[in-house]
């Protein structure tokens, strides 16, 4: 076994690898960019080395910097995690030449599965069923359009070197094919340096089911059963589970055998995943699953397999890479119970799952209710440079219903302030009747998106507590100070104070009258309610209102506050009374960058008439393209950016003429 390894990654996967390495007595070396100098994975490792500035191309993708850190630290092997260099065969070759082991498959295996078109041809030879489509080398747009017409719509355009939903476009109408092809190529080039694509038939009711495989250098290969990853948005996984709902034993065996054949066809060693798509228009059937691709690395969702099998897949990786045989044969592997994993991201679900940035002013993860894999802590910053994952929340139960109930409880106990998250969206998915019944397919989220992202109105109690907190009336009592019970009270009459809040984009002035004994009358629109602060414990409040005792948490930031109550997080703004509303008033006339990014395409021209929701620009951020649309009908006035320009969060990109000027 290795004595010291280097982890060529960051975030939660780096922390995950460090955890197993420490349990096995293996010393760990972290690498970090300037943006990650104080990151959690750096703090957990035994030692760490700076490898460059924040952009991945100048740090985590610099092979020579990783090898230099190996030599300086004496690391015998490198664990690549996932993403970054994990599926780069040139990295494996460079490590081998430097005398450093790679904790993963051979360069030849990675190359064999690295391009989707070549991999599908290889799988056909191995007797593994593949999705109907065009996987050839000809990339002429008219030729590809003709192949799509032959396959029949809808079709899926996929960057052949893609992954993680990048470089992928669904096309339902032949007229949209060329624009979709251009976008898929552009995103594939930006993310993987390869703009070539393949075309596949899009199954109208598919399920994404993958098989965890493992091989060693002694010719052995096994599978560790399936995971269902059908809950996706923008082709990216949201909640994964193991095993797959309603999976017939016959189909489980057929998929497992096909996955092992695929692994053996390329002499695979280490952890890998064979991804299949199943046509479930008539339910799961053993002759209706097709090979999509192989991920020659550990998957983000590997914890659900660990929880149902009781195996540590990172430990398996380390033992196999050190030359050992697989810890178990196929006959010795079994699973029990059910597991779910939910990916908690810094993203705004109601705004098209737009990635978010910000400082985690408060972070409380449900570690008593679930396994939580995370690479961040309270006070850390979510930057635009990397994937905006905050944590993976993973649960296990004896049945699917029990496990899903545990997942919902864990998500409702999750608290994040300072950055918008998808926590409410994940909770809504857990409550979704179809998902709860196991009736899942990759189109579920898109079909029911409006229901899943519907945000509840901010309740009166949350508004009242926000007003009290904004006025400083919910601070903990200082020792035995008898005057604390008189907070805000006046001798001649109850004092009046006013809290200015911004709720749902509207400013509200909330009047609060202090009644003494930490009791307050709060004016809420047309009526008044009395609140008594019973107990304050840090951010947690216990209060009485109309004979009802309840609890909540209130986190006050610089310009906003968050009220956590009944499993929901309500974000409420704290406007500056001295600032005007000019910026807000003009928002409908401007297109503003929602995050830092690169202007990839500008569709509009000055003087052009546009209609509401017409695409005007494409902004690339966090390796994904985001289409920005016209906020209203109008005429383009000032075009303030050009293609290839890097912009910061809040930059005005384009302005429409004021309606009076446009009419003139």
**Contact present, 419 and 356 (Cβ < 8 Å):** yes
Q: Whole-angstrom Cα distance, residue 24 to residue 327?
A: 15
| Beta-ladder partners of 501 | 508
**How many CB atoms sit inside 10 A of residue 505's CB?**
8
Catalytic positions are 297
Mean per-residue pLDDT for 434-456? Answer: 93
Mean per-residue pLDDT for 114-138? Answer: 85
In this predicted structure, the answer to whether residue 430 has a pLDDT above a threshold of 50 is: yes
Structure confidence at residue 490 as a pLDDT band (50, 70, 90)? low
> pLDDT per residue over 596-623, tens digit each?
788 999 999 999 999 998 999 998 876 6
> pLDDT per residue over 47-73, tens digit each?
999 999 999 999 999 999 999 999 999
**Structure-token pair, residue 598:** 């690169």
> pLDDT per residue over 392-423, tens digit each?
999 999 999 999 999 999 999 999 999 999 99
Angle at 323 between CA 321 and CA 324, to 5 degrees: 100
Q: What does residue 401 show for φ and ψ, rounded to 5 degrees?
A: -60, -45
> pLDDT per residue over 538-596, tens digit each?
999 999 999 999 999 999 987 899 999 999 999 999 987 655 443 433 346 888 887 77
**Contact present, 616 and 601 (Cβ < 8 Å):** no
pTM of the predicted protein model: 0.82
> pLDDT per residue over 308-365, tens digit each?
999 999 999 999 999 999 999 999 999 999 999 999 999 999 988 888 888 999 999 9
For residue 630, the surrounding DSSP H or E stretch is none
SS3 265: helix
> pLDDT per residue over 183-192, tens digit each?
999 988 887 7
Specify which of 97-101, 163-167, 482-486 reaches the highest per-range mean pLDDT. Answer: 97-101
Length of the chain: 664
Q: Whole-angstrom Cα distance, residue 539 to residue 225?
A: 44
What is the reported pLDDT for 374?
A: 98
Q: Whole-angstrom Cα distance, residue 524 to residue 511?
A: 8
> pLDDT per residue over 500-521, tens digit each?
999 988 999 999 999 988 999 9
In this predicted structure, the answer to whether residue 252 has a pLDDT above a threshold of 80 is: yes
First to last CA, the chain: 78
């Amino acid at each position: 076994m290795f004595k010291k390894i280097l982890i060529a990654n960051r975030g939660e996967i780096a922390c995950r690898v460090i955890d197993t390495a420490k349990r096995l007595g293996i010393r760990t070396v972290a690498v970090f960019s300037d943006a990650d100098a104080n990151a959690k994975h750096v703090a957990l490792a035994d030692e760490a080395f700076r490898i460059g500035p924040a952009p991945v191309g100048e740090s985590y993708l610099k092979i020579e910097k990783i090898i230099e850190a190996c030599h300086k630290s004496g690391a015998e092997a490198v664990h690549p995690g996932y993403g970054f260099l994990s599926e780069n065969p040139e990295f494996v070759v460079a490590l081998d030449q430097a005398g450093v082991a790679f904790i993963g498959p051979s360069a030849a295996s990675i190359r064999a599965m690295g391009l989707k078109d070549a991999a599908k041809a290889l799988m056909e030879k191995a007797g593994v069923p593949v999705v109907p489509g065009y996987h050839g080398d000809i990339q002429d747009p008219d030729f590809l359009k003709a192949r799509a017409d032959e396959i029949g719509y809808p079709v899926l355009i996929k960057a052949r070197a893609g992954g993680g939903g990048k470089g992928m476009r669904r096309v339902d109408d032949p007229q949209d094919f060329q624009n979709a092809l251009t976008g898929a190529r552009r995103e594939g080039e930006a993310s993987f340096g390869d703009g070539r694509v393949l075309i596949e038939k899009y199954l109208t009711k598919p399920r994404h089911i993958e098989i965890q495989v493992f091989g060693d250098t002694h010719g052995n290969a096994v599978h560790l059963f399936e995971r269902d990853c059908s809950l996706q948005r923008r082709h990216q996984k949201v909640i994964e589970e193991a095993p797959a709902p309603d999976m017939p034993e016959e189909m489980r065996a057929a998929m497992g055998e096909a996955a092992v054949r695929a692994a053996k066809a390329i002499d695979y060693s280490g952890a890998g995943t064979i991804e299949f798509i199943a046509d479930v228009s008539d339910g799961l059937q053993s002759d209706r699953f097709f090979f999509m691709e192989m991920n020659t690395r550990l998957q983000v969702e590997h914890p659900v397999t660990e929880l149902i099998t009781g195996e540590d897949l990172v430990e398996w990786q380390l033992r196999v890479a050190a030359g050992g045989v697989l810890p178990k044969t196929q006959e010795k592997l079994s699973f029990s119970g059910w597991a779910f994993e939910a990916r908690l991201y810094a993203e705004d679900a109601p705004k098209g799952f737009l990635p978010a940035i910000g400082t985690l002013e408060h972070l409380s993860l449900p570690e008593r209710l679930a396994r939580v894999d995370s690479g961040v802590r309270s006070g850390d910053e979510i930057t635009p440079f990397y994937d905006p994952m905050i944590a993976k929340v993973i649960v296990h139960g004896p049945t699917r219903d029990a496990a899903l109930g545990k997942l919902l409880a864990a998500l409702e106990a999750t608290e994040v302030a300072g950055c918008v998250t998808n926590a409410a969206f994940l909770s809504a998915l857990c409550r979704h009747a179809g998902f709860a019944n196991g009736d899942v397919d990759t189109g579920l989220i898109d079909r029911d998106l409006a229901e899943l992202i519907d945000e509840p109105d901010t309740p009166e109690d949350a508004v009242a507590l926000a007003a009290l907190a904004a006025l400083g009336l919910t601070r903990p009592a200082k020792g035995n100070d008898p005057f604390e019970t008189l907070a805000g009270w006046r001798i001649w009459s109850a004092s009046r104070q006013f809290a200015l809040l911004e709720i749902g984009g509207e400013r509200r002035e909330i009047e609060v009258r202090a009644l003494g004994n930490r009791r307050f009358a709060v004016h809420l629109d047309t009526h008044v309610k009395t609140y008594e602060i019973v107990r304050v414990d840090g951010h947690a409040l216990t209060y009485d209102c109309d004979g009802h005792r309840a609890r909540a948490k209130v986190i006050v930031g610089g310009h906003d506050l968050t009220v956590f109550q009944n499993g929901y997080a309500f974000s409420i703004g704290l406007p500056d009374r001295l600032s005007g509303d000019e910026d807000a008033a003009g928002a409908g006339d401007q297109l503003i960058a929602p995050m830092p990014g690169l202007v990839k395409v500008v569709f509009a021209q000055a003087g052009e008439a546009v209609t509401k929701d017409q695409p005007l620009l494409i902004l690339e951020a966090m390796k994904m393209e985001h289409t920005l649309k016209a906020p209203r009908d109008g005429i383009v006035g000032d075009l303030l950016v050009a293609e290839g320009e890097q912009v910061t969060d809040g930059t005005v990109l384009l302005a429409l003429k004021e309606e009076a000027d446009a009419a003139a």
